[in-house]
Amino acid sequence: MTMLRAAFITPGAFPIPSAMGGSVERVVEKVVPELIPHVSATIYGRLGKRIPANRSLNGVPVIRFPAVNKAKYFKLVSGRLAKIRPEVIQVENRPLWIPRLKRSFPHSRIWLNLHSTTFINPPYLNRLQRKRCLLAADYIQVNSEFLRNYIQTRVPQVAGKIKVNHLGVDAARFPGKSSLEGMGISERWRSKHGWGGRPIVLYVGRLIPQKGVHHLLSALPSIIAQAPNAMVVIVGSARYGSHLRTGYVKRLYKQAARWKNHVHFQPYVPHHEIPNWFVMADVAVVPSIGREAFGLVNLEAMAAELPVVATNAGGMKEIVVDGSTGYLVSADSAVIAGELSSRIGQLLANETERRDMGLRGRDRVMNHFLWRHTAERWLEFQRE
């Protein structure tokens, strides 16, 4: 039986593999190798420092191009595609490319894998462009019911070709807090930073307004009132792989200055170090207030057996089960700080609840949110 030939086109914004790069590239590098041996796949992406142009990724050929402008990158990728004529061309998060690929490769199925709402809205696409690009796709894969509903509300004509495929996590990278390995890492990491047995509330992600870190800091006085020794640890920066202090980041530092003994900022760290931060924490917080299509960080926290306090924004309520694997709070700016402090304080005061929620969270990950599950659903979709 001939294997399906499929091409996966990353946006070209970050190198692949994505040690210092973006979430789109990370999803591709995790899912596509899981499709082997059912699919003959090739990944197209950007060249990075000290990465050979044609180095494979876990058995999948990767064709890399220099960091050039978007138009040049698309032209280079299209030229390579013309040589192999894949049956499926999957475009990652760049809907604007769909109509051009459909014209150039009329005999290929052109799939759009949409990771967020960003690139189907201004300044990237206006309403007419959005409709044209989405109609041109043979199939649209999204990572949440939220994103499906968002699209079909705006372009009802494409409702029938949208498929939801939740993302996953590499659970083996995240030792559970209750495991011997997890306990060892936690002890070493806490000792390294001088935090001992202090209660640790962890945020991991970009420092941009829609991620809501300012609301977490607004909740801090109430958190300290309930847990006087609490630490809020904020891991991340404004942009992937950059320590740039934007105006918003400066405001966060100013907001936290009064509580300097209770707040630690850790600028962007390599992705391979992230499990250490999760396993030493007591509670993970995801206070997003924007259109959060999915929220991989929730899965990473759950894989490490952390209870998650997240807002009910976007697709996060499809991940966190309120009252079981954590708590969902309102994303309304009028009440979010109060709800965050209430739930965080409750969890910090109850070790048994934290442990039980953490264990249920990891079970949920293992049963539904592994990269293998994402790949299996992808294969099911293409058979339909």
Full set of structural domains in the chain with CATH: 4-169+370-381 (3.40.50.2000), 171-369 (3.40.50.2000)
Categorize the per-residue pLDDT at 1 as very low, low, confident or very high, splitting at 50, 70 and 90. Answer: low
pTM score of the predicted model: 0.94
Beta-ladder partners of 43 = 8, 62
Mean pLDDT across the chain: 95
Categorize the per-residue pLDDT at 20 as very low, low, confident or very high, splitting at 50, 70 and 90. Answer: low
Lowest mean pLDDT among 93-97, 140-144, 175-179, 267-271: 267-271
* Average pLDDT for 263-288: 93
With CA atoms as reference, report the closest residue to 143 among 169, 168, 125: 168
Categorize the per-residue pLDDT at 17 as very low, low, confident or very high, splitting at 50, 70 and 90. Answer: confident
Query: Considering the chain, what percentage of its residues have pLDDT values greater than 90?
Result: 87
Categorize the per-residue pLDDT at 67 as very low, low, confident or very high, splitting at 50, 70 and 90. Answer: confident
Cis peptide bond prior to 267, omega within 30° of 0: no
Strands 62-65 and 88-92: unpaired
Lowest mean pLDDT among 4-13, 24-33, 235-244, 346-355: 235-244
Whole-number Å distance between alpha carbons of 134 and 322: 33
Contact (CB, 8 A) for 4 and 40:
yes
For residue 138, the model assigns a pLDDT of 98
* Average pLDDT for 87-107: 98
